[in-house]
Amino acid sequence: MLHLVGLGLADETDITVRGLEIVKRADRVYLEAYTAVLLVDKEKLEAFYGRPVIEADRELVETGSDEILAGADQADVAFLVVGDPFGATTHTDLVLRARELGIQTNVVPNASIMSGIGCTGLQLYNFGQTVSMVFFLDNWRPSSFYDRIRENVQIGLHTLVLLDIKVKEQSIENMARGRRIFEPPRYMTVAQCAQQMLEVEEDRKEGVYAPDSLAMGAARVGAPDQKLVVGTLTELAEVELGAPLHSVVLLGRRTHDLERDYIRQFAVNEATFDASYAKYYGKSS
Amino acid sequence: MLHLVGLGLADETDITVRGLEIVKRADRVYLEAYTAVLLVDKEKLEAFYGRPVIEADRELVETGSDEILAGADQADVAFLVVGDPFGATTHTDLVLRARELGIQTNVVPNASIMSGIGCTGLQLYNFGQTVSMVFFLDNWRPSSFYDRIRENVQIGLHTLVLLDIKVKEQSIENMARGRRIFEPPRYMTVAQCAQQMLEVEEDRKEGVYAPDSLAMGAARVGAPDQKLVVGTLTELAEVELGAPLHSVVLLGRRTHDLERDYIRQFAVNEATFDASYAKYYGKSS
């Protein structure tokens, strides 16, 4: 059987009891290590599980899935996914491939950033579609997120923005030469995201949001040192929230007073928060 | 300290290792037992935790929160929530009250139906706002969900519909007489939800969806006997998925071919699925 086991958001103790039992008795254990990361390394997981963990990079999952699934009609294979197995990244491909091979599957859910972001105090009911923000390059500044945010803004809903991570990336030179040398991992920060959002509004000038629109920054959701802030995009572009992973939520105008009362404690500056809030938010339609 | 601990979706083993450690050492343990339920009863939880659990009904949480928080500046109080503590129902009130009393709080995330619904194979990125469906009464048929669904439909997004549960409800007579006698719990089924959706479209005739619009029904998400189906609303109004909890997802026209390939295995009837799919879905805008 193929078991897809969610690991939750922060560290090795965020696995569920059900998930841990599966990991302990599985014949092989893989860790999906390219779309999200825990705040602890593989060695710590191995020590906690009392067994070896095989790192599964994008290549292995996307083109070598038969290696992962080998023998899983008889043996138990655990495939560990940070967050939830069907959360921000879904592993439906792997499940479909398993079915084709006549291998049964079992999913163990866990917290995902898509629901964990509720820790901000913003109601999950008031979120529209989630968008992703990638690291801009000089000649590549995709702004499709801006159109999606507009759709949420028109309805008055919040937008969760998931931030790019670059793990096991090769430089163009190393790729061209076939050298398996990888760049250090990079994780987009709340400040970088806010900065890129401001740049795109500056380019496109369609008024989807403004420099004084309010957004929340969340760092290390679910960890003991989780950090939340709320401020204008201009303020967030300067904020420093420490280690990854970070996420951003752009507020929608339908923000409820109960949400305001909760998030205000995280304001970078209460005066600018109150000014922006009065200007744009708490509108019921 | 007040610990809000998510229990996940199915049974006692869905608690995280971090959460279980907190429950085992807490001075008092409350279970929020009115907005969602696990598929196991309190006695099973108590046996698993090795300690007593106090059931917290709506009254205790909403008006008696100081009883829950009593002494929590010194002692550890665990407040257990099915799903995630900030998921479909947020307990920000309790956290705010704790802060007012100078009590520190700690949140242990877990799977919520808001992300667990990803098990359908529908991408969480493609969901708009979530709506709730209540049991209609003869003289009370709130249709605000219909306006919210329209907003999602106009963009082409999926809509998660969370279904009503009635736990510890009193009849009007018992309430009037002050008798603490409660009706048996009721949980809305996928079929009841589809039926009510059809009735509201029939009443309002605004074409937000049609009898042959596709929707998914999900029962007992995260449990070993989880069940998924996809069919037209007319088909779902007849479907029988067994024990609670149930949820519904109305498909948006932006459904991606990869999503179709995954959900088709759950079709009530492949021919009607294909016909409706070709008619309405897989449109990129």
Condensed to tens digits (0 to 9), the pLDDT of residues B133-177 reads 999 998 999 999 999 999 999 999 999 999 999 887 888 888 888
CB spacing of B21 vs A13 below 8 angstroms: yes
- How many angstroms separate the first and last alpha carbons of chain A? 49
* Chain A contact set for B261 (CB, 8 A): 96
Alpha carbon A216 to its chain's center: 15
CA dihedral B127, B130, B135, B140 (to 10 degrees): -120
Residue A17 at interface with chain B, using a CB cutoff of 8 Å: yes
Checking if the pLDDT of A87 tops 90, the result is: no
- The Cα A25–Cα B120 span in angstroms is 27
Report which of residues B157 and A175 the model is more confident about: B157
Average pLDDT over residues A222-249: 97
Predicted pLDDT of residue B62: 83
pLDDT tens digits for range B229-260: 999 999 999 999 999 999 999 999 999 999 99
Size of interface A-B (CB pairs under 8 A): 174
The structure's pTM equals: 0.95
Supply A95's token pair. 């499940």
Strands A2-6 and A77-81, sheet pairing: parallel
Predicted pLDDT of residue A200: 97
Predicted pLDDT of residue B63: 84
Checking if the pLDDT of A229 tops 80, the result is: yes
Q: How confident is the model at residue B285 (pLDDT cuts 50, 70, 90)?
A: low
Secondary structure (H, E, C), B225-281:
CCEEEEEEHHHHCCCCCCCCCEEEEECCCCCCHHHHHHHHHHECCHHHHHHHHHHHC
CB spacing of B111 vs A6 below 8 angstroms: yes
Residue A116 at interface with chain B, using a CB cutoff of 8 Å: yes
Predicted pLDDT of residue B174: 87
Report which of residues A184 and A200 the model is more confident about: A200
* Chain A contact set for B96 (CB, 8 A): 261-262
Rounded to a whole number of angstroms, the distance from the CA of A49 to the nearest CA of chain B is: 12
Select from B9, B87, B109 the Cβ nearest to the Cβ of A222.
Answer: B109
- The Cα A164–Cα A134 span in angstroms is 5
- The Cα A115–Cα B109 span in angstroms is 9
CB spacing of B258 vs A92 below 8 angstroms: yes
* Secondary element (H or E) of residue B147: helix B144-155
Checking if the pLDDT of A27 tops 90, the result is: yes
* Chain B contact set for A124 (CB, 8 A): 86-88, 90, 112, 114, 130
CB spacing of B118 vs A151 below 8 angstroms: no
- The Cα A35–Cα B31 span in angstroms is 34
CB spacing of A111 vs B258 below 8 angstroms: no
Checking if the pLDDT of A100 tops 60, the result is: yes
Return the minimum-mean-pLDDT range out of A108-117, A144-153, A175-184, A217-226: A175-184
Predicted pLDDT of residue B20: 98
pLDDT tens digits for range A38-77: 878 899 999 999 999 999 988 888 888 899 999 999 999 9
Kindly report the backbone phi and psi dihedral angles of residue A145, in degrees, each rounded to the nearest multiple of 5, phi listed first: -60, -30
CB spacing of A129 vs B130 below 8 angstroms: no
Query: What angle, 0 to 180 degrees and rounded to 10, lies between the N-to-C axes of helices B190-204 and B144-155?
Result: 90
Q: Which residue of A has its CA nearest to B14?
A: A16
Supply A109's token pair. 């859910």
Select from A9, A12, A92 the Cβ nearest to the Cβ of B109.
Answer: A9
Contacts of A64 (CB under 8 A, 6+ apart): none
CB B81 within 8 A of CB B9: no
Q: How confident is the model at residue A269 (pLDDT cuts 50, 70, 90)?
A: very high
Checking if the pLDDT of B274 tops 90, the result is: yes
Predicted pLDDT of residue A283: 77
Predicted pLDDT of residue B284: 67
Predicted pLDDT of residue A284: 67
Predicted pLDDT of residue B77: 97
Q: What is the DSSP letter of A186?
A: E
Percent of chain A with pLDDT over 90: 81
β-strand partners of A106? A3
Checking if the pLDDT of A146 tops 70, the result is: yes
Average pLDDT over residues B56-67: 86
CB B23 within 8 A of CB B15: yes
CB spacing of B111 vs A106 below 8 angstroms: no
β-strand partners of A158? A127
β-strand partners of A81? A6, A32
How many C-beta atoms lie closer than 10 Å to residue A53's C-beta? Answer: 19
Q: Provide the chain A residues 117-136 that lie in CB contact (below 8 A) with chain B.
A: 118-121, 123-132
Predicted pLDDT of residue A285: 57
CB spacing of B109 vs A109 below 8 angstroms: no
User: How does the average pLDDT of chain A come out, rounded?
Assistant: 94
Predicted pLDDT of residue A9: 94
- The Cα A60–Cα A165 span in angstroms is 18
Q: How confident is the model at residue B105 (pLDDT cuts 50, 70, 90)?
A: very high
Report which of residues B18 and A178 the model is more confident about: B18
Select from A20, A127, A221 the Cβ nearest to the Cβ of B129.
Answer: A127
Q: Provide the chain B residues 214-273 that lie in CB contact (below 8 A) with chain A.
A: 221-222, 224, 258, 261-262, 265
β-strand partners of A3? A78, A106
CB B156 within 8 A of CB B131: no
Query: Which of A236, A201, A195, A199 is closest to A219 using CA atoms?
Result: A236
- The Cα A184–Cα A170 span in angstroms is 9
* Chain B contact set for A134 (CB, 8 A): none
Average pLDDT over residues B6-32: 96
Binding residues of B for S-adenosyl-L-methionine: 9, 84, 87, 112-113, 163, 221, 246
The length of chain A in residues reads 285
Place of tokens 């995330």: B109
CB spacing of A17 vs B17 below 8 angstroms: yes
Residue A47 at interface with chain B, using a CB cutoff of 8 Å: no
Residue A84 at interface with chain B, using a CB cutoff of 8 Å: yes
* Secondary element (H or E) of residue A94: helix A92-100
Return the minimum-mean-pLDDT range out of A98-112, A211-225, A230-244, B87-101: B87-101
CB spacing of B157 vs A6 below 8 angstroms: no
Supply B217's token pair. 């029904």
- The Cα B261–Cα B122 span in angstroms is 10
Kindly report the backbone phi and psi dihedral angles of residue A106, in degrees, each rounded to the nearest multiple of 5, phi listed first: -145, 130
pLDDT tens digits for range A150-171: 999 999 999 999 999 988 788 8
pLDDT tens digits for range B69-78: 999 999 999 9
* Chain B contact set for A258 (CB, 8 A): 92-93
Q: What is the DSSP letter of B177?
A: T
Predicted pLDDT of residue A64: 83
* Secondary element (H or E) of residue A55: strand A54-56
* Secondary element (H or E) of residue A204: helix A190-204
Kindly tell me the burial class for residue A143, based on how many C-beta atoms sit within 10 Å of its own C-beta (0-12, 13-18, 19 or more): middle
Checking if the pLDDT of A116 tops 60, the result is: yes
Select from B6, B124, B155 the Cβ nearest to the Cβ of A151.
Answer: B155
Predicted pLDDT of residue A168: 77
The length of chain B in residues reads 285
* Chain A contact set for B155 (CB, 8 A): 128-129, 151, 155
What is the gyration radius of the CA atoms in chain B, in angstroms?
20
Amino acid type, B264: R
Collect contacts of A54-63 with beta carbons under 8 A, ≥24 apart: A54/A28, A54/A29, A54/A30, A55/A30, A55/A31, A56/A30, A56/A31, A56/A32, A57/A33, A57/A168, A58/A34, A58/A168, A60/A30, A61/A32, A61/A34, A61/A91, A61/A94, A62/A93
Predicted pLDDT of residue B167: 83
CB A239 within 8 A of CB A231: yes
pLDDT tens digits for range A236-256: 999 999 999 999 999 999 999
- The Cα B154–Cα A176 span in angstroms is 45
Q: What angle do CA B166, B85, A267 make, to 5 degrees?
A: 130
Residue A161 at interface with chain B, using a CB cutoff of 8 Å: no
